[in-house]
Structure 1
Amino acid sequence: MTQIAAAPDTTAGAGAGVDLSDPAWYLNRELTWLAFNRRVLNEAEDERTPLLERVKFLAIVSSNLDEFFMKRIGGLKQQVGAGVHELSVDGRTPEQQLRECQAEVVAIKERKDELFPRLVSELREAGIMLSRYWELDAEQQAGLRAWYLENIYPLLTPIGMDPAHPFPFISNLSLNLLVSINRAAGQPGPRMVRIKVPVGEGIPRFVRVGEQSHFVPLEDVIAHNLDQLLPELDIERWDLFRVTRNAIVERYEEQANDLLQVIEAELRDRKFAPTVRLEVSTDMPPVHRGMLAAELGLDEGMDVFEVDGLMQRRDLMELIGLDRPELKDPPHHPIEHPKLVDAPNIFHLIRNSGPILLQHPYESFTTSVERFLREASQDPKVLAIKMTLYRTARKSKIIEYLIDAAENGKQVAVAVELKARFDEEANVRWANSLEEAGIHVSYGVLGLKTHAKVIFVLRRDYDGLRRYAHLGTGNYHSGTARLYSDLGLLTCDPVLGSDLTELFNFLTTGYVAKRRYDKLLPAPTHLKRALLARIEREIELQAAGELGHIQFKTNALEDADIVRALYRASQAGVAVDLIIRDTCRVRPGVPDLSENIRVISIVGRFLEHTRIYFFRNGGAEEYFIGSADCMKRNLESRVETVVPVEDPDCQRALREILEVQLNDRRSAWDMQPDGSYVQRIPAGEEEQRGAQEQLIALAQKRARAVGRKKLHGRNKRRVRA
């Protein structure tokens, strides 16, 4: 069990006439997100998880914490620096949040430091060795030295630090050697040298020793071969350090036409942004650690973290590529959606068979979403393609098909979100490529991020112009489509088509008119109001004797207005099931406040990314999927799309997903009233399979059923012949 923060005594209940504005009933956004990383770290500690998958989870936690410091700690530090004392919904000042986050980060770091040597030992037992350079024999060291001199030595730039050479710029998330030079009094030359370890761009962090699965960290190889880089110098010692810089450097958007230049300027600013964290090796002398903290403008007590053992553990992800299937999860191969198998034309299929619900990564992104866009780019009856682009793969078929469409004479318009965090540079590059191909590129609406996931196709069918669409919960990214659980809907619903016409007119003009949407629930104009109204309707139906029931599956539940509404629903007797991946402000199970609310979190081999909203509605059930989480930023300052799923078959598929996850006994965690989480314990053999494994099996079962049906049909035709 993990507890995220001190909590009020919830055992006695909230009492009559509870004040829903009381901060005690709202958990902290940052601390609940860190609690999610505790659950991810648990997968790295859990011996039921295959060994290399445990290494992967350790790398994920390390990467997540890097991002947390860049985004969340960086933002809090800005507020403290600006003298902001405004309390969060949960009653904390920015400074209080910083202190509590630091304590939680230290606790997670200590668990990581304790786990890492255990994993190294287990890897060694499995024939995968992570060694230090000094542990190698002379022949192995000679081989690595030859490789270093050929491949790494020319890339290194030692930078001295003395009165003539000021402290150098240290780039974000770079790994660095701090080399101390022992020199006699009056001897010229620097006392300290900084060397950046050139990890990335084809240079591995872990250097293979010989032909076996035996590796040494690159910094070790560099540090033990400094004689040519720093000739004739008496090297006293070397230590590792790493800095993390603030990623919150957004500029004010004065004019929409200048947005591209604004983003490019922000990218330059981020490179030189203030440092928010310094990591140092545990045995670095205090005087050196203090010097680094002073030069970087950091509080040595708050912002400096000692790392025991390997630094920058996110690079452990390199080991996942080893060919050791017995140390990984069973391989997963997404199936082709049964309706799409052997369908010669995807538009005819959607028109004649009705909407198609796609479940990724259980069903293939390539043979569904990419196929939809590929056929649209080639189909002579397709007149126009419009889409939103938030993130996509480095080698993207999506971009390729959009360019093909333009070259084939289609009208193509793309709303590119330039401010997709950490993908800004890639999106600027894609925007330029699309414009060079003659595609109309817009950058969304001033002051709003475009987070919606929509492809909109206008086709001249036999009976007139028809509008086809894909609306999803995930990015148009072939890589993450194999790692994230997401949903998509292929449809030619004419009402939705009309709504999407309005949406894209809004995106391309930025004109916030009173646009009418009959089915689509877009943010920031309609979605939050619609969710609150539907929660209120469940309360009214419960009061009238109906069974009220609400189920949300989202990444995060942070918006205070939504939380208050769910509390009121619980007080009215409405059953509320919440499947929330990470941030969650709700305290479930508090008598008289939230005793009808349960919150679970699923952590498994795939990152849960699906958003589903369900309302029982007196038996006339409503299901919605979309791009928006229940966060204030998603509901009020982003362009999002949430779409109703009305087809009975699609609704049954959504019901199956919800039930499988709510009943998961292997990878589900139950949130407690104090904000802590308790992992469920499987009771039998069948319960050893988590929800994601069950959904893989269900997808394969659907594929086999279609295969049997087609085989039966072929056999019947042979008999007739």
Structure 2
Amino acid sequence: MTLRWDAPDKDTLRRVVSESSRFFGAPRTVFFRDVYYDTTAGDLRQLGARCRVRFAPNGEQRLRVSLPDASALDERLREVDVARALAGDSAPARALRALTDPSRLAAWIECEIERTSRTLRLPFIPLPSGDLIADCITARRGELTARVYEISLRPRLAGRAAARSAGAQLEEVYRLRPVSGTEPLLRVRAALDAAEAESTARELRGEREVALVAVEHGRIGLWRAGAELRLPIAKGSGEEACRVALRQLAGGGEGQLRLLGVVPRSGDRVPLEVWTARRLHRNSTSGNFQWFAPAELLARVGSPMLRDPGTLAALSVAARSPLLPEWSGAAFETGADVDAAPEDVARASRVTLTELRAALPSEESKDPARETPDQFLNPELSWIEFNSRVLALAEDPATPLAARFRFLAIFSSNLDQFVMTRVGALKQLVAAGKTARSAHGGGFRPQETLDAIAVRLHPLTARQYRIYHELSAAGHPAILRWDALGDAERTALRTRCAEAIIPFVSPKALTRAPGHPFPFIGDRQIALLVAMRDRPADPVHYAIVGLPTELPRFVPLGSSRWIATEELVRANLDLLYPGRTIAGAHAFRLTRSGDLQLDETTTANFLQAIEEELARRKQSPVLRVELEHTTPQALRDLLQRELRFEESERDSTLNPADVYVADGPIDLSGLFEIAADGGLPDYPPLTTVDPFAPDRPIAAQLDQHDVLVYHPHDSFPATVERFISEAADDPAVQAIKLTLYRLGETSPLAEALRRAAAAGKDVSVVVELKARFEEARNISWARNLERDGIHVVTGLVSLKTHAKLALVVCRTRDGRVRRYAHIGTGNYNAATALVYTDAGLFTADPRITADAHTLFNELTGSSYAPQVNLPHLLVAPTDMLERILALIDREAEHARAGRPARIRAKLNALSDSTVIQALYRASQAGVAIDLVVRGICTLRPGVPGLSERIRVVSILGRFLEHARIYHLANGAPDAEEYYIGSADWRPRNLRRRVEVLAPVYDPAARRRLDTVLTAELATPNAWLLRADGGYDPPENEKAANIAAFSRT
């Protein structure tokens, strides 16, 4: 008789298996899935019978029917289709027909089982005495989930006494509770019944709510609560609860109601039913409801006026529902049509927007010394605003066609990284049960931020595909479907597919076998979900065809005509499945977390640890699913269901809001290939400038004065590459030191460093292995450079070295040491130097070069953060934050004293709360503050009493604005200060990275920085940040390119 015990948790289960005595053999782990079938009326249960299909890891399926007399029939299934097998002619199926009609059976309970077993062998008994089995059972019934942990000991022939003795020891040591005689299914059912009872009890206690999305004349109705807007939300469930809410909130219960979806329970948030309400009672068009065009709402999601948690959760459902076309990509375009509305609706809308557009802050939030949520914008929503501006460039007819495709690709690439990093981090917090509000993120909880992201992103991606179709409809280029090709082209492409694509494709059957219940699909890999029949009359079964990421995204057909690779494979699936009937194939793509989990303080081999983490990252959780709009709902549900339980012991945070429907080819980042083809109109070629005289070494020119360069208008090869190359070949140079963050695929700089090392020079390079998504490439660079005799430092413990710093050390003819430095804002990467605007300072000023030398000694001589405070360079995390705050506070003192006080800055992002509060204090003191912030900005400008002297603009265009430039008036025209360097004003730059800002002392270099800042702050193609987090568009979308300013 099998002995059974209950384990309270998986940790106990693992301990029992791993700590059992030496008489147990090595552990073996298998996975399988059991699905129990019954009628909706429970006919089999009432008879005391069971019907179970077991799916084994090898794809085998077995049908077991347990009869009322306790006998059982078990047989391997020959049919792939379960419904057909249940009605088949096997012995279990025949017995089943005697009990009930198989056509009435449906899946009742589904169990995923992870089973670890060890064989009991005693030294005085030659045969095994029994088997110790530990089962982790994840059971699902409908929306309910429960887990059961069970330990059992199954005696073998002549081993019952030994098994009982071993079982008694296990029970005593681990204090296990016996459950002998209880069938596992009964325990699973009891656990699911308990979960259902708890859910029902919550509903009876009113722990369910309804949210109403009222729609009238193309506008959405919200409830006014002071300075905040909310959807009407009330306790209860179903249509009747909605009508009660309508009577209470809108003056009448009339209206056409439809359920959009349900927001599941999350933490302390109860389930929320989201309903749309149309044709409301007449009184609802004034007073209680205020009406908004969708575009007005979308621009304010997450702002202080629209951040109620229930409202955000409900809008996240509305944003993806086909039942609410008003909330679609087209509805959020500038000048989108909205139905003419009665005067009372229009009047209510105008009044509300006027009152709420710039809500006055509380007295508490006007005090920068007291951090309040109203002082800050949400960083994730600010990032979405930035990517929306990228999309506006793709939408602008004045943008060259190739660039419009490129901006569509940039939007997709940016979104991938956003999901992999920020969404992934938020989901980790949700999974860990973290519900604290972030004062620096607008007061949001993690789940609330995810809801707001979903509300904003779904219509934004719909807008991206609308732009894509508009560009494709013009026919230049044409991205074609298979059925639009001629016979000759199809024949040629079929041959190409058979020779160059199919050999590299590995199809995988979609079985319900556990362990791998769903074939593994890599991060951002496009795959096809294929439905097929073995014979025309056979049932449909499924397979996954993953497309290798090495394949091109689009296959050129000539004359600016292309076909997507998945379209080509889909049309030729018979090459993979000859003799079978293809019923359909639908493309999808998964995005997985990009997080690396490293314990840097205990890692012996840092490079090897990162390599291991990169391998683990391939298996990281799924965060987003993209699928074609033609994918049937049943297959969409199948994908979600299987991916949510990709790992049985970890509940996935994947939910319906993470499914994005593509109205076109999946993953438009592939449009980079088309934009780079050269057949489309593009920006005119850039004429670069060489600021150094070609007939004299750069070092000799720096002996006379500093030189400030501004890429890409100043040639990168003629400046940075020439500087390092000349140093490598100069016999007077003794040492070259360099930091590398993103070097790129190939680099002339690396070749120069190799020459220098071969010539016997001391070459030291700091290669940052933790540069996000560059880890593998930087590992390769580190190994190759070290192999060439270069001293390589692979980063510091718990810090990223993000500084852009180069130092050349020479010995002059008279024996003196002479140093030359380059301090930049951008990476030493020739490819990005063509498309990023970056500043760089070349100098021989001993004040700066001596500091640079000291810093390099710290970086190469220790594995921890620099400790020395340098007199001229600002270094993070050592003292940069402290000195920046001192500079800002100094401007405030100048303003109070009536002296010239101004702060100008150009940077990528601004989100450090300490710096922001210092800027608020300066604004209150009278300092004029002008900021050019390309991306994330959590500072709220223009708030009366707090930041009305702060102006923030964002510039996007042909080049990615990447330079960091800082200017402070410092009380007098002749006392102004300028700094450039690698650091933005973000927590990661100031606290978790090695960064450098350098003062610019040279008058000509300072004048050039002033010209850049003045021009960018005055350019009409700047977007202006509002206090609510939205941006006002440029005055002139065809404004002059900033190149004209940067060359002066």
Q: TM-score, normalised by structure 1?
A: 0.92
| Shift of residue 204, structure 1, vs aligned partner | 2.2
Q: Distance in 2 between matches of 1:12 and 1:42?
A: 27
Which has a greater percent of helix?
1
| Shift of residue 101, structure 1, vs aligned partner | 0.9
| Shift of residue 495, structure 1, vs aligned partner | 1.6
Q: Does 1:366 align with 2:721?
A: no
Q: Does 1:671 align with 2:1025?
A: yes
Alpha-carbon deviations, 1:414-460, whole Å to 9, x = none? 11100000000000000001111111111222111000001111101
| Shift of residue 480, structure 1, vs aligned partner | 0.2
Structure 1's 513 and 199: CA in aligned 2 closer, same or farther, altered over 3 A?
Answer: closer
* Letter paired with 2:375: W
* Letter paired with 1:6: S
The residue aligned with 1:538 is 891
The residue aligned with 1:84 is 434
Instruction: Check conservation: 1:5, 1:31, Cα contact below 8 A.
Output: yes
Select which of 944, 947, 950 maps to 1:591. Answer: 944
The residue aligned with 1:97 is 449
Alpha-carbon deviations, 1:544-571, whole Å to 9, x = none? 1112100111100000001111111111
The residue aligned with 1:302 is 657
- 3-state SS, counterpart of residue 656 of structure 2: coil
Q: Distance in 1 between matches of 2:937 and 2:718?
A: 35
* Letter paired with 2:879: H
Q: Distance in 2 between matches of 1:256 and 1:398?
A: 30
The residue aligned with 2:626 is 279
Instruction: Check conservation: 1:343, 1:349, Cα contact below 8 A.
Output: no
Q: Does 1:659 align with 2:1014?
A: yes
Select which of 641, 648, 652 maps to 2:996. Answer: 641
Select which of 496, 499, 523 maps to 2:848. Answer: 496
Instruction: Check conservation: 1:145, 1:225, Cα contact below 8 A.
Output: yes
Select which of 792, 803, 807 maps to 1:452. Answer: 803
Instruction: Check conservation: 2:512, 2:518, Cα contact below 8 A.
Output: no
Instruction: Check conservation: 1:15, 1:592, Cα contact below 8 A.
Output: no
Select which of 401, 409, 412 maps to 1:51. Answer: 401
Select which of 390, 394, 411 maps to 1:61. Answer: 411
Instruction: Check conservation: 1:600, 1:670, Cα contact below 8 A.
Output: yes
The residue aligned with 1:263 is 610
Q: Distance in 1 between matches of 2:430 and 2:396?
A: 38
Farther off after superposition, 628-637 or 222-231: 222-231
Instruction: Check conservation: 1:4, 1:675, Cα contact below 8 A.
Output: no
Alpha-carbon deviations, 1:62-107, whole Å to 9, x = none? 1100111101101111111111223221211111111111111112
> Percent same amino acid among aligned pairs?
41
* Letter paired with 1:678: D
The residue aligned with 1:487 is 839
* Letter paired with 1:547: P
The residue aligned with 2:174 is none
Select which of 930, 953, 960 maps to 1:607. Answer: 960
Instruction: Check conservation: 2:532, 2:542, Cα contact below 8 A.
Output: yes
Q: Distance in 1 between matches of 2:357 and 2:403?
A: 37
Greater relative contact order: 1 or 2 (C-alpha under 8 angstroms, separation 6 or more)?
1
Farther off after superposition, 488-497 or 316-325: 316-325
Q: Distance in 1 between matches of 2:603 and 2:431?
A: 29
Q: Distance in 2 between matches of 1:559 and 1:163?
A: 48
Q: Does 1:29 align with 2:383?
A: no
Q: Distance in 2 between matches of 1:665 and 1:316?
A: 29
The residue aligned with 2:829 is 477
Farther off after superposition, 233-242 or 152-161: 152-161
| Shift of residue 592, structure 1, vs aligned partner | 1.1
The residue aligned with 1:428 is 779
Farther off after superposition, 278-287 or 167-176: 278-287
| Shift of residue 679, structure 1, vs aligned partner | 1.4
The residue aligned with 1:712 is none
Instruction: Check conservation: 1:4, 1:676, Cα contact below 8 A.
Output: no
The residue aligned with 2:302 is 5
Select which of 750, 759, 773 maps to 1:399. Answer: 750
* Letter paired with 1:245: R
Q: Does 1:557 align with 2:907?
A: no
* Letter paired with 1:379: D
Select which of 198, 201, 208 maps to 2:556. Answer: 208
Instruction: Check conservation: 2:400, 2:683, Cα contact below 8 A.
Output: yes
Instruction: Check conservation: 1:535, 1:565, Cα contact below 8 A.
Output: yes
* Letter paired with 1:655: D
| Shift of residue 389, structure 1, vs aligned partner | 0.7
| Shift of residue 167, structure 1, vs aligned partner | 2.1
| Shift of residue 208, structure 1, vs aligned partner | 2.1
Structure 1's 292 and 378: CA in aligned 2 closer, same or farther, altered over 3 A?
Answer: same
Instruction: Check conservation: 1:552, 1:613, Cα contact below 8 A.
Output: yes
Instruction: Check conservation: 1:12, 1:591, Cα contact below 8 A.
Output: no
Alpha-carbon deviations, 1:229-280, whole Å to 9, x = none? 1011111111011000000122111246421122111111111111101111
Select which of 321, 333, 358 maps to 2:687. Answer: 333
The residue aligned with 2:193 is none
Q: Distance in 1 between matches of 2:468 and 2:577?
A: 32
* Letter paired with 2:510: M
Q: Distance in 1 between matches of 2:604 and 2:871?
A: 31
Q: Distance in 1 between matches of 2:466 and 2:488?
A: 32
Select which of 631, 637, 647 maps to 2:986. Answer: 631
Instruction: Provide structure 2 residue ranges, at least 5 long, that are not aligned to the other structure.
Output: 1-295, 306-355, 645-651
Structure 1's 358 and 59: CA in aligned 2 closer, same or farther, altered over 3 A?
Answer: same
Q: Distance in 1 between matches of 2:372 and 2:854?
A: 40
* Letter paired with 1:598: R
Select which of 858, 876, 883 maps to 1:523. Answer: 876
User: Which of the two has higher C-alpha Rg?
Assistant: 2
Q: Distance in 2 between matches of 1:691 and 1:635?
A: 32
Structure 1's 303 and 13: CA in aligned 2 closer, same or farther, altered over 3 A?
Answer: closer
Q: Distance in 2 between matches of 1:573 and 1:433?
A: 54
Q: Where in structure 2 are the equivalents of 1:173-184 lying within 5 Å? A: 173-183=524-534
Q: Distance in 2 between matches of 1:148 and 1:56?
A: 27
Q: Distance in 2 between matches of 1:539 and 1:500?
A: 30
* Letter paired with 2:588: F
- 3-state SS, counterpart of residue 610 of structure 1: coil
Instruction: Check conservation: 1:579, 1:600, Cα contact below 8 A.
Output: yes
Q: Distance in 1 between matches of 2:634 and 2:302?
A: 34
Structure 1's 540 and 691: CA in aligned 2 closer, same or farther, altered over 3 A?
Answer: farther
The residue aligned with 2:593 is 246
Q: Distance in 1 between matches of 2:889 and 2:512?
A: 68
- 3-state SS, counterpart of residue 573 of structure 2: coil
Q: Does 1:152 align with 2:506?
A: no
Instruction: Provide structure 1 residue ranges, at least 5 long, that are not aligned to the other structure.
Output: 703-721
Q: Distance in 1 between matches of 2:727 and 2:876?
A: 27
| Shift of residue 643, structure 1, vs aligned partner | 0.2
Instruction: Check conservation: 2:498, 2:575, Cα contact below 8 A.
Output: no
The residue aligned with 2:329 is none
Instruction: Check conservation: 2:855, 2:866, Cα contact below 8 A.
Output: no
The residue aligned with 1:319 is 674
CA RMSD of aligned residues (A): 1.9
Instruction: Check conservation: 1:3, 1:677, Cα contact below 8 A.
Output: no
* Letter paired with 1:144: L
Farther off after superposition, 402-411 or 279-288: 279-288
Structure 1's 58 and 4: CA in aligned 2 closer, same or farther, altered over 3 A?
Answer: farther
Q: Distance in 2 between matches of 1:11 and 1:672?
A: 8
Q: Distance in 1 between matches of 2:873 and 2:431?
A: 41
| Shift of residue 512, structure 1, vs aligned partner | 4.9
Structure 1's 29 and 216: CA in aligned 2 closer, same or farther, altered over 3 A?
Answer: same
* Letter paired with 1:357: L
Structure 1's 102 and 306: CA in aligned 2 closer, same or farther, altered over 3 A?
Answer: same
The residue aligned with 1:650 is 1005
| Shift of residue 185, structure 1, vs aligned partner | 11
